[in-house]
Amino acid sequence: MLPVLFKLGPFQIHPYGFLLAVSFAVGILWALKRAEKRDIDKNHVLDMAIIVMITAILGSRLFYVVTHLDEFRGHWTDTFNPFQSSGEIGIAGLSMLGGIVLALISIVIYTRWKHIPLLRFCDVSAPSLAFGMALTRIGCFLNGCCFGKVCRHPWGMVFPLDSPAGSTFPGTRLHPTQLYSSIFDWILLGALLLMDRKRRPDGSLTATFLILYGLFRFGIDFFRYYEPSVQMNVGGISLTFNQIISLSLALIGAALLIAKVKRSGNK
C-alpha cells in the first residue's frame, strides 16, 4: 500500500488523486484523437472535458457526502473545503458512480445545447472512461479504500492498519475488490477497442459499456464492504445505492442496444 505518493510542503499527494489526474490528461488526449475520425470538433471535446472534470469531481464528492451524512454532521464545510476541520489539507472521500452519473448528465445537456450527436460523442469518450476507471482503481488499492469483505481464499489481502481497510478490519484477509475492478476495466477497455476496429452505428460502444460495466459493478458490490448507511433492503435482499445505479445503467444500455437493433431491422 502507498497512501501518500509524495509531499509538497503541507500538501500530500495521494495515489487516487494523482492517477485520477493522469487518467483525465490521457483520456482527453485520446478523445481528441478519436474525435477527428468521427467528425466532432476538437473544441467541443476540450470544452466538454473541462465540464466533465468539474462535474465528475462534484458528483463523486456529493454522492459520498450524501451516503455518509454522519461523517459530516456539524462539519458541512468539509464537503468542498480543502482545509478540513480535522486539520488535514485536501478532500478525501469520493464515490466514482456519483461522478459518472453527474458527468453523463452534463454530457447530455452540453450535446443538446451545441447540437452534437450525443451517442457519437459518448462513443468517442467510452474508451477514455474505461481507461480512467482502470487506472484510478489502482489508486484505490494503493490507498486502501473501496475494499472488500472478509475473504477466505488464498488471494485475500491484509491491509496496513493505517489504511481505511486495515483500520476497519485489522489483520483480516479481505477481497481486493479494487484489483478485481481494475482488471475488469482493462478487459472492458480491450473489448471496446476490439469492437471499434470496425465502424459501428453510433451508440454501440456506449451501450456495450453501460451493460458490461453496470452488470459487473452490480455483482462486485456483493463482495465489497459498505457501511450500513449506504445499504437498503429491496425484496429481502440487501443492496447498495451503487448497485441500484449500476443496474439502472445496464438497463439503459440494454434499451439503447435493443433500439439500435430494431432500427437497423426496419431499414
Chain segment 74-117, per-residue pLDDT in tens: 666 666 665 556 555 556 667 777 888 888 899 999 999 999 99
Of 26-30, 37-41, 56-60, where does the model show the most confidence?
Answer: 26-30
Grid cell in block for residue 200:
459501428
Residue 152 has pLDDT above 70, yes or no: yes
Q: For residues 225-232, give the mean pLDDT.
A: 82
Q: How many domains does the chain have?
A: 1
Closest CA to 64 of 184, 174, 181, 226: 226
Q: Render pLDDT for 172-218 as a digit per residue (tens, 0 to 9).
A: 999 999 999 999 999 999 999 999 998 888 899 999 999 999 999 99
Residue 17 has pLDDT above 90, yes or no: no
CA atoms within 13 A on the CB side of 84: 13
Residue 138 lies inside a defined structural domain of this protein: yes
pTM of the complete model:
0.85
Residue 255 lies in a domain: yes
| Residue 267 within any structural domain of the chain | no
Q: Which domain holds residue 204?
A: 6-261
- Please tell me what DSSP assigns to residue 81: -
130 vs 7, more confident: 130
- Count of Cβ atoms closer than 10 Å to residue 240 Cβ: 19
User: Which is nearest to 222 in space by CA: 204, 209, 240, 207?
Assistant: 240
User: What mean pLDDT is reported for the chain?
Assistant: 86
- 3-state secondary structure at position 77: helix
Burial of 144-164, coded b for 16+ CB within 10 Å and e otherwise, reads: bbbbbeebeeeeebebeeebb
Q: Between vectors from CA 243 to CA 91 and to CA 176, what angle results, nearest 5°? A: 65
Looking up cell 477497442 gives 193
pLDDT digits (tens, 9 = 90+) for 107-150: 999 999 999 999 999 999 999 999 999 999 999 999 888 899 99
The total number of residues written for the chain in this structure: 267
Q: φ and ψ at 148, to 5 degrees?
A: -95, -175
Does the structure show a pLDDT above 60 at 50? yes
1 part of a folded domain = no
The one-letter code for the residue type at 159 is: F
C-alpha cell at 137: 482503481
Q: How confident is the model at residue 93, as a pLDDT?
A: 65
Question: What letter represents residue 16's amino acid?
Answer: Y
Residue 260 is placed in which grid cell? 439500435
Given a cut of 60, is residue 32 above it in pLDDT? yes
Tell me what pLDDT residue 240 has.
87
d(CA 202, CA 235): 37
Which contiguous run of DSSP H or E holds residue 122?
helix 118-143
Contact (Cβ atoms closer than 8 angstroms) between residue 120 and residue 40? yes
Cell of 221: 458490490
96 occurs within a structural domain: yes
Select, from the ranges 54-58, 228-232, 253-257, the one with the highest average predicted confidence (pLDDT): 253-257
Mean of pLDDT values over 56-81: 71
Q: Is residue 185 part of a domain?
A: yes
Taking residue 63's Cβ as centre, other Cβ atoms within 10 Å add up to 24
Residue 242 within a domain: yes
Question: 253 burial class (0-12, 13-18, 19+ CB within 10 angstroms)?
Answer: buried
Q: Which H or E run includes 234?
A: strand 231-234
Burial of 45 (0-12, 13-18, 19+ CB in 10 A): buried
Lowest mean pLDDT of 50-64, 71-85, 107-121, 231-245, name the range.
71-85
**Phi, psi for residue 69 in degrees, rounded to 5:** -60, -40
pLDDT reading at 22 higher than 80: yes
Longest dimension (CA), the chain: 63
266 in a domain, yes or no?
no
